[in-house]
Amino acid sequence: DTAVSQTPKYLVTQMGNDKSIKCEQNLGHDTMYWYKQDSKKFLKIMFSYNNKELIINETVPNRFSPKSPDKAHLNLHINSLELGDSAVYFCASSQEVAGNTQYFGPGTRLTVL
């Protein structure tokens, strides 16, 4: 069984479009995260939710809006996509709020043309 799953795996879209990436974890964890990994492989945290509540919100353009319908799901919606949004987006989860043992999803490779 997949612990942290993301859909879609690949997303190719035009500039200006709006897209969503979905994430689900079946580990029973309370905290979920979104990371962005750029072409240089740097992992940058974007958001973190604990029990559906936003606890980390890094300096991310407000075109990015996370939504957590329940503690097992954390979706990421991106409005007005730009070329610089092209990256791999990883969802992760951990048991605790400041959990250091994070379990990552397989990633969503977003390409903006």
Partner 1 sequence: GQQLNQSPQSMFIQEGEDVSMNCTSSSIFNTWLWYKQDPGEGPVLLIALYKAGELTSNGRLTAQFGITRKDSFLNISASIPSDVGIYFCAGQPNAGNNRKLIWGLGTSLAVNP
Site residues for partner 1 per CB under 8 A: 4, 40-45, 48, 55-56, 58-59, 90, 92, 97-98, 100-107
Beta carbon of residue 43, minimum distance to partner 1 (angstroms, whole number):
5
The structure tokens listed for 41 are: 């492989």
Q: Which is nearer to partner 1, 26 or 79 (CB)?
A: 26
Distance of closest approach, residue 42 Cβ to partner 1, in angstroms: 6
CA pair distance 66, 2, nearest whole angstrom? 22
Structure tokens at 14: 């035009």
Whose Cβ is closer to partner 1: residue 3's or residue 15's?
A: 3
What letters, b where the CB count within 10 A reaches 16 and e where it falls short, cover 8-43?
eeebebeeeeebebbbbbeeebbbbbbbbeeeeeee
In the complex, minimum distance from the CB of residue 97 to partner 1, in angstroms, rounded to a whole number: 8
Instruction: Closer to partner 1 by CB, 44 or 63: give it.
Output: 44
Nearer to partner 1, 4 or 112 (CB): 4
Dist. CA 68–CA 22, nearest whole Å? 10
Whole-angstrom distance, CA of residue 98 vs CA of residue 31: 8
- Residue 48 Cβ vs partner 1, minimum distance, rounded to whole Å: 7
